[in-house]
Amino acid sequence: MTLAAPEGNLIELRGVRFRRGNFRVFDGLDMAIPKGKVTAVMGPSGTGKTTLLRLITGQLKPDAGSVRVGEYEVPSLSLSRLYEMRRQMGMLFQNGALLTDFSVFENVAFPLREHTRLPDRLIRHIVLTKLHAVGLRGAAELFPGELSGGMNRRVALARAIVMDPDILIYDEPFVGLDPISMGVIVRLIRRLNDALGLTSVVVSHDVRELELVADHSFLLAEGRVVASGAHRELMDEDSPLVRQFMHGEADGPVAYHFPAKDYGDDLFDRGQGPR
């Protein structure tokens, strides 16, 4: 299955509502992710960025609204069709999620062994090609524990592209990386997207790095998209909430203190009696 892109958007969410218990995660979320571009999804902690990825990949179903990937309405897919769609997606997890008892080579080869019947010789050719693309062909026989955090992230990226997906999803790809490794990952996101004709979705808090790589950015808050556009446009937004996030301001609509009773009343139990 190849994912078609009607009207140039490979992923579309329309009127999405989703709750966890009494907490409203999304309330009328609208988002369109264009084919062939690097799209950034940002937002303060707890705004549903990971939930968004789970809706797109079919791990969760919305309470209302539409989630489309290509021509497919994700919540209505059968299990077999859902798995078929997921094979056209690559995922770079925040911690890499490598199998520690497998070599670098076998980690990258794992999806091919699970989902194809390709001969070993062809698997070797594909794996070494992907490792070469991330600069780690020479580390093929090493194990994850013998590599740095940045190198592990690059191995995970090679594994994410080994099935030649249409969509590549990055969940916080810059977390825990030193400046050199971060620069390498930023460059790989851009180069792989353009060279392989991918559609990349990058979920991250790192405003500076996203400015270098994103074609289009969305900012989530209050259960919806509060701003979208080119990254520079978001940096220049007048909205207090957007400005607070994009410039890392401590004071603004996102409060420092969690909602609570009056400090004095709480501290001295005024009118509350013994606890």
Domain annotation for the chain: domains and CATH numbers: 7-254 (3.40.50.300)
- Give me the pLDDT at residue 271, please: 57
The first and second tokens of residue 224, run together, are 């919806």
What's the whole-model pTM score?
Answer: 0.82
- From CA 25, how far away is CA 183, in angstroms rounded? 32
pLDDT digits (tens, 9 = 90+) for 57-98: 999 999 999 999 988 899 999 998 998 898 889 988 877 788
pLDDT digits (tens, 9 = 90+) for 132-143: 988 889 989 999
Average of per-residue pLDDT across 7-23: 87
Least confident of 3-7, 57-61, 192-196: 3-7
pLDDT digits (tens, 9 = 90+) for 102-134: 999 999 999 999 888 999 999 999 999 999 988
- State the amino acid at position 246 in one-letter form: M
Tally of CB atoms within 10 A around 197? 11
- Give me the pLDDT at residue 11, please: 93
